[in-house]
């Protein structure tokens, strides 16, 4: 039973309305993005780094576990409290008051609670952007804590590559404020401590401010949907396009026919560009871009793309291609997640491989999975250009096999064993670690690495913080 005296004490520290306890107010913070739900003793909504510090310090001193929560868009339950009713949620949704832009340095200092969409909207007049492109709209602190990647990883990398500095609250009795918010790109004067807090799901410390690298907003783009001549030529197609396009190539996204059909069914406004409405079994979304305005006499990107695709035809790498408006083509890509989710009960995997192993893994699964798990539909899509795959499996909505967790756990373990042990992949490409994949962290992480991670965690934040057990 949670001692309600703590509620009064926390309200004294950060304000009456900054601590939520009523069910109607806390429900949104207790419900995750995909089938997960918990019960929070309270939701704390501090509005500054100082307020985060006093809340964390109080909870550490009184043995209260805090679950940091950013935009609550994660897919592995990392920001969801458990069902016990004794954990507190520490929400970043009021930490939005800082945005300091340095155009000359091409960087911005932001509060961790600012959403990605709001950040880029407020940067619009500068001609700069934070270039991590996602289907969801997370808050910046959560993006750093989970090291998100996105659809343009091929060109811009992940959040880790674009983070210059952080301000972090450690889960100790003092709520220590660790100021690592450097705006320097080169600083080899010691251990790069900010890396401990990137991709560790908020368990090493609570991020309150971020210093981010910015990139010029692309001023020219061209997109196409490509149908490879066969799955085993996809790697050849990627290599050939990189050779022809260089750093113009900003996305190379795979989309299975099943995933695209799910999106078209769920979003009637989407247009199927292929003749007769037939959806290919596999298509690749390709984007090329330039950050400069088109100069007089300069070949347009649509022409560049068409020229390169003609070369791909000659090399027998393509069976079909459609060059179309970027907003239409990206609309289809961004509709895949919701479309697949509405097909049935979703069992989602966030996998990564060496780039050349993506298609062999998918082809192996298409051949072997139906015999092992009947009536399960593969609806995969992902970032072939960086080796990432959202390997989604859809089970009929009311399938009796999903009445407890045994069937899903069996399926997950089988897929992960194949992905990791047979293909050398990772079970979490960009979703980080949370209760949904904790067992697989324990299963696949070597003991010496677990020991080192646990030691680092104990040094940075000895208190009960986050849902991950490193």
Q: Does a structural domain hold residue 452? A: no
CA-wise closest residue to 108 among 240, 212, 207: 212
Q: What is the pLDDT of residue 462?
A: 97
Residue 34 has pLDDT above 90, yes or no: no
Q: Are residues 175 and 114 in the same domain?
A: yes
> Which DSSP category does 299 fall into?
P
Over residues 425-440, the mean pLDDT reads: 94
Say how many domains are in the chain. 4
Confidence of residue 64 (pLDDT cuts 50, 70, 90): very high
Residue 406 has pLDDT above 90, yes or no: yes
Alpha-carbon span 355 to 383, nearest angstrom: 9
Residue 404 has pLDDT above 90, yes or no: no
Q: Does a structural domain hold residue 465? A: no
Percentages of the chain per state (helix, strand, coil), in multiples of 5: 40, 20, 40
Alpha-carbon span 62 to 37, nearest angstrom: 25
Q: Are residues 271 and 314 in the same domain?
A: yes
Residue 415 has pLDDT above 90, yes or no: yes
Residue 276 has pLDDT above 90, yes or no: no
Contact 163, 182 (CB under 8 A): no
Between helix 358-372 and helix 234-245 the angle, nearest 10°, is 150
Alpha-carbon span 359 to 229, nearest angstrom: 13
Residue 33 has pLDDT above 90, yes or no: no
Q: Which CATH number characterizes residue 80's domain?
A: 3.30.43.10
Q: What is the pLDDT of residue 274?
A: 82
List pLDDT tens digits, range 7-22. 999 999 999 999 999 9
Domain boundary among 216, 251, 279: 216
Q: What is the pLDDT of residue 83?
A: 95
Instruction: State the residue range of the domain holding 358.
Output: 344-444
Average pLDDT, the chain: 95
Count of beta carbons in the 10 Å neighbourhood of residue 233: 18
Over residues 245-250, the mean pLDDT reads: 95
Residue 136 has pLDDT above 90, yes or no: no
Over residues 21-28, the mean pLDDT reads: 96
Q: Does a structural domain hold residue 467? A: no
Q: Does a structural domain hold residue 457? A: no
Using DSSP, state whether 76 is helix, strand or coil. Answer: coil
Q: Are residues 13 and 79 in the same domain?
A: yes
Q: Are residues 71 and 121 in the same domain?
A: no
Residue 398 has pLDDT above 90, yes or no: no
Count of beta carbons in the 10 Å neighbourhood of residue 299: 10
Q: What is the pLDDT of residue 107?
A: 98
* Structure tokens that stand for 357 in this block: 């192993």
Residue 46 has pLDDT above 90, yes or no: yes
Residue 405 has pLDDT above 90, yes or no: no
Q: Are residues 86 and 104 in the same domain?
A: no
Alpha-carbon span 70 to 90, nearest angstrom: 8
Q: Does a structural domain hold residue 459? A: no
Q: Which CATH number characterizes residue 418's domain?
A: 3.30.70.2740
Over residues 320-330, the mean pLDDT reads: 94
Q: Are residues 153 and 133 in the same domain?
A: yes
Q: Are residues 315 and 275 in the same domain?
A: yes
Confidence of residue 425 (pLDDT cuts 50, 70, 90): very high
Domain boundary among 179, 200, 216: 216
Q: Does a structural domain hold residue 178? A: yes
Q: Are residues 149 and 210 in the same domain?
A: yes
Alpha-carbon span 52 to 65, nearest angstrom: 14
| Dihedral pair phi/psi, residue 11, rounded to 5° | -65, -35
Confidence of residue 273 (pLDDT cuts 50, 70, 90): confident
List own/partner pairs for 16-23 with CB under 8 A and 24 or more apart: 18/44, 18/45, 18/46, 18/47, 18/51, 18/94, 19/43, 19/44, 19/45, 20/45
Residue 1 has pLDDT above 90, yes or no: no
């Amino acid at each position: 039973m949670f001692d309600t005296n703590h509620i009064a004490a926390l309200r004294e520290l950060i304000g009456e309305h900054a601590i939520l306890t009523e069910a109607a107010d806390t429900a949104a913070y207790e419900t995750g993005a995909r089938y997960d739900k918990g019960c929070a003793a309270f939701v704390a909504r501090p509005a500054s780094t100082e307020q985060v510090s006093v809340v964390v310090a109080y909870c550490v001193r009184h043995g209260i576990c805090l679950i940091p929560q950013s935009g609550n868009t994660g897919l592995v339950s990392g920001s969801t409290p458990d069902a016990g009713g004794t954990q507190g949620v520490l929400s970043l949704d009021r930490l939005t008051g800082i945005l300091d832009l340095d155009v000359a340095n091409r960087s911005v200092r932001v509060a961790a609670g600012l959403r990605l969409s709001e950040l880029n909207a407020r940067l619009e007049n500068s001609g700069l952007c934070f270039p991590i492109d996602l289907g969801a709209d997370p808050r910046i602190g959560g993006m750093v804590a989970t090291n998100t990647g996105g659809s343009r990883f091929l060109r811009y990398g992940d959040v880790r590559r674009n983070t210059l500095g952080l301000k972090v609250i450690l889960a100790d009795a003092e709520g220590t404020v660790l100021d690592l918010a450097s705006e320097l790109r080169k600083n080899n004067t010691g251990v790069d401590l900010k890396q401990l807090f990137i991709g560790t799901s908020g368990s090493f410390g609570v991020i309150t401010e971020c210093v981010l690298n910015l990139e010029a907003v692309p001023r020219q783009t061209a997109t196409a949907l490509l149908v490879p001549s066969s799955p085993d030529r996809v790697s050849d197609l990627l290599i050939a396009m990189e050779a022809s396009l260089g750093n113009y190539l900003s996305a190379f996204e795979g989309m299975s026919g099943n995933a695209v059909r799910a999106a078209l069914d769920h979003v009637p406004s989407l247009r199927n560009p292929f003749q007769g409405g037939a959806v290919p079994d596999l298509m690749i979304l390709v984007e090329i871009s330039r950050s400069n305005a088109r100069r007089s006499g300069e070949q347009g990107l649509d022409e560049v793309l068409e020229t390169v695709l003609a070369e791909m035809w000659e090399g027998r790498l393509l069976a079909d291609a459609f060059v179309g408006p970027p907003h239409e083509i990206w609309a289809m890509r961004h509709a895949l997640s919701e479309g697949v989710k509405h097909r049935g009960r979703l069992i989602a995997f966030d996998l990564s491989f060496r780039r050349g192993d993506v298609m062999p893994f998918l082809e192996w699964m298409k051949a072997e999975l139906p015999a092992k798990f009947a009536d399960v539909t593969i609806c995969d899509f992902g970032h072939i250009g960086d080796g990432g795959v959202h390997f989604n499996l859809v089970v009929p909505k009311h399938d009796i096999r999903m009445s407890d967790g045994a069937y899903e756990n069996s399926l997950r373990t089988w897929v992960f064993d194949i992905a990791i042990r047979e293909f050398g992949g990772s079970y979490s490409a960009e979703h980080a670690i949370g209760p949904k994949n904790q067992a697989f962290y324990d299963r696949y992480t070597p003991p010496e690495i677990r020991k080192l991670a646990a030691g680092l965690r104990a040094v940075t934040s000895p208190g009960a913080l986050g849902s991950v057990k490193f």
